[in-house]
Amino acid sequence: MSGDNHPVDPKPSPAAPAPPPPAVPAASPPAPGAPAAAASQAAPGAAPQPGRAPLPQPVPGPYGSPRASLARRIAPPLGVLTGVVAAFAYVGAVDPNEPGHYPVCPLFRLTGILCPGCGGLRSAHAFAHGDLVTALGANAVAVAGYLLFAVAMVFWLVGAVRGVSVRLTAGPVWWWSAGVVVALFSVVRNLPFGAALAP
pLDDT in tens, 14-39: 555 556 666 555 555 555 554 444 44
Q: Which amino acid is at 158?
A: V
Q: How far is CA 28 from CA 24, 25, 31, 32, in A?
A: 12, 9, 9, 12
Check pLDDT > 80 for residue 62.
no
Q: State pLDDT tens for residues 110-148.
A: 999 999 999 999 999 999 999 999 999 999 999 999 999
Check pLDDT > 60 for residue 71.
yes
User: Residue 185: what pLDDT?
Assistant: 93
Check pLDDT > 70 for residue 44.
no
Closest by alpha carbon to 136, among 58, 199, 64, 70?
A: 199
Name which residue leads in pLDDT, 158 or 26: 158
- Over the chain, what is the mean pLDDT? 78
User: Residue 58: what pLDDT?
Assistant: 47
User: Residue 145: what pLDDT?
Assistant: 94
Using the Cα atoms of residue 97, residue 100, residue 106 and residue 109 in order, give the sign of their dihedral: positive
User: Residue 68: what pLDDT?
Assistant: 55
Mean per-residue pLDDT, 156-173: 84
Check pLDDT > 90 for residue 160.
no
User: Residue 161: what pLDDT?
Assistant: 87
Confidence band for 42, pLDDT divided at 50, 70 and 90? very low
User: Residue 163: what pLDDT?
Assistant: 82
> At residue 16, what are phi and psi to the nearest 5 degrees?
-70, 140
